Amino acid sequence: MNLRKHILPLFSLILLSCSTISEKNNNNEANSQNSKALTSTGNIEFPLDSLTGFKSLSFSIDHLNDSSETVSFINRQTNSLYVYSLANKQVEKIHKFDMQGPKGVGALAAGSHLIHNRDSIFIYNPNLGTLFLFNGDTQLTNKFKIVDFNNSNLQIIPEPIGLAKFQIVGKEIFFPSTLAQPLNDYSNTPSQTIVNIVTGAIRYDFVFPKIYSEAYWGGSFKYFSTLAFDGQNILINFPIDENIHIRNIENQTNSKAKIPSNQISAFEPMDEDIKFGTKPRDDSFYQKQDLYSFSNSDFAGLLYDQFRNVYYRIVYARPTLEEVKGGDWIPDISIITFNQQFQILSEILLEKEKYDPSMIGVSKDGLLIARKDLYSNDENNLTLEIFKLQ
């Protein structure tokens, strides 16, 4: 029996050694005088063929070892990976993947990808729990079974999607993961599944912060951590925690820094009883949970900008409860920029009618975000708006 959506949690964890967590004194209020503005500086367009729509759940801007940059995304309709040159805005390569057979990756409707270099392309299908490695000629060279859905002891399931991208750190790939099901305690529950791409070994790390064991926080995306890597530190973002959690990979020390948002005054739980999510459910439970989850703002993602040595924390500024009841579920997007001293430099609010934050990435030119409003007027082009810190 496949237990992808019905899994009993009880996993023995293999965690990295941890030291006492220190808190960085970033004094963000005092640094408001040094703030800068993340400013729009123009748009760039990429032509779309007749088989390609706007929305992709797996979108990436890739910096390759030959110093070139590409824009890539999975086309769900054709089970393909489109790779564009960022320099000339034209398609460089279309990788077409079989669904069935010995080289099949299944349907990639919810699939995600990572281009490590031109000859190493990773494809992950969450419905199969399998990571596939292809070369530049779209030849399957390796695959890793990450999840056994028949294993009733799973706590978390890798689910990289949208802002929650999987990333390479050394010889390991870090996968943002979702809960197999709600728990009564999160003090030893990891948030990331980590796969060694040389040996295939799997481990789990980055336990949930204390706030998750104090109440019930709603839908599964409220428990979904995202990651950024700056070459020295792994930074973890949790949706309902204003802290950024930091792991120095050389000495394995842990710390945290507060990066609050102007859009979030406080986090109110769905229920003060953490066991609320493990109790028997009916249709009214899911309706109540959806109304709560989509009307309470959260920290949705984290990106590192290696060209400007800053980070972007993405906030979903969600509509009010009454707006959600009226059918408005889409959040506005707020972007916090902070530096390597964890000082906030800027926070801007973007209109939900214009932008798709799941299609976002960093380039030499700036932070690029897809414009869904422009696609509705011109379905022949994908438009990305460029933002720079000025």
> Domain residues of the chain, as ranges?
22-389
| Parallel, antiparallel or unpaired: strands 156-158 and 243-248 | unpaired
What is residue 319's DSSP assignment?
A: P
**What are φ and ψ of residue 195, in 5° steps?**
-120, 125
Residue 207 has pLDDT above 60, yes or no: yes
Res. 64 pLDDT band, cuts 50 70 90: confident
Per residue in 344-353, pLDDT tens?
999 999 999 9
What CA–CA distance (Å, rounded) separates 242 from 299? 8
Name the pTM for this structure: 0.90
Average pLDDT of the residues of the chain: 90
The helix or strand, by DSSP H or E, that contains position 335, with its residue range, turns out to be strand 332-339
Res. 86 pLDDT band, cuts 50 70 90: very high
The helix or strand, by DSSP H or E, that contains position 180, with its residue range, turns out to be none
Question: 32 or 377: whose pLDDT is higher?
Answer: 377
Residue 23 has pLDDT above 80, yes or no: no
Name the 3-class secondary structure at 117: strand
CA distances (Å), origin 343, targets 34, 39, 107, 319: 9, 18, 43, 28
Per residue in 220-231, pLDDT tens?
999 999 999 999
- Find the range with the poorest average confidence among 1-10, 225-234, 249-258: 1-10
Residue 390 has pLDDT above 90, yes or no: no
What CA–CA distance (Å, rounded) separates 72 from 117? 12
pLDDT at 168: 93
pLDDT at 283: 87
Q: Which CATH number fits domain 22-389: 2.120.10.30, 3.30.420.40, 3.30.70.890, 1.10.10.10?
A: 2.120.10.30
What CA–CA distance (Å, rounded) separates 59 from 71? 8
pLDDT at 350: 96
Q: What is the mean pLDDT of residues 8-37?
A: 47
Residue 18 has pLDDT above 70, yes or no: no
pLDDT at 10: 26
Res. 237 pLDDT band, cuts 50 70 90: very high
- Find the range with the poorest average confidence among 10-19, 80-89, 248-257: 10-19
Residue 3 has pLDDT above 50, yes or no: no
pLDDT at 49: 94
Per residue in 107-140, pLDDT tens?
999 999 999 999 999 999 999 999 999 999 999 9
Per residue in 264-303, pLDDT tens?
999 999 999 999 999 998 889 999 999 999 999 999 999 9
Residue 13 has pLDDT above 80, yes or no: no
Q: What is the mean pLDDT of residues 198-223?
A: 95
